[in-house]
Amino acid sequence: MIEEKDYSLAEALDFEGRVAEPLRERLRQMADEWHLPMERVRASAVGQVIDRVHQVFSTPLHRVLAAAWRKHPSCRAYCDPEQYPHGESHTVELAEHTLGWECEPAVEVLADGLNAAGAGRLAELRFEIEIEAAVRAGLLTIRDARFIQMEAAELTVGATLRLQGFTVARYEVPVPIPGTLRFGEHGEPICPPPDPPTDAAPPAVTQVSVPAIATV
């Protein structure tokens, strides 16, 4: 069983088996236009881009659920300390519903040593990632205006990955989550501060670098 602290979208959605290979194939086709000196350099660039996309999919599953639920009025009601005093735990039975999460990261491919001269940018790859989770059942524990854990959950998660508008992967899978899915060590806040780390999106643009000149 996957440890709860490591239960990410990548593991729930089998990133390596369902996303990495079709993405690699698409990137290989695009890499022919990047004017890189050798095949192994192109392969290195492709691998680094896949690693950046994997980092986005490494978002914890509980953080995706919390980001959607905290917008719902029935959940935000638990931010009222007079109605729900500090230290009290409340169990909410989840009705069947669907929630979504999305982001649009970009990756720049740069040639080492040429960027300062304005010739190093080989490509800017724009991705669209859409996650849809269908919750069929579950018991959600809330305490101190925080999502604490979810039990007895039945969950199906779907993913769509697009690169420059091209659909690389689209599928859904039943998610065998642990018996109890904990929302981090201290829970996920329902009413976060103005710049909450729990809703922080991935950097808009990340970079990967490859040699401009390769030795044999």
Q: How many CA atoms lie within 13 A of 20 on its CB side?
A: 15
pLDDT tens digits, residue range 114-153?
454 445 678 899 999 999 999 988 999 999 999 999 997 8
DSSP annotation of 60 reads: B
Bin 114: left if φ > 0, else alpha if -120 < ψ < 50, else beta. alpha
pLDDT tens digits, residue range 71-104?
889 999 999 999 999 999 999 999 899 999 999 9
Do the Cβ atoms of 172 and 160 come closer than 8 Å? no
Residues 6 or more apart whose Cβ sits within 8 Å of residue 95: none
pTM: 0.82
- CA pair distance 116, 119, nearest whole angstrom: 8
pLDDT tens digits, residue range 58-77?
999 999 999 999 988 999 99
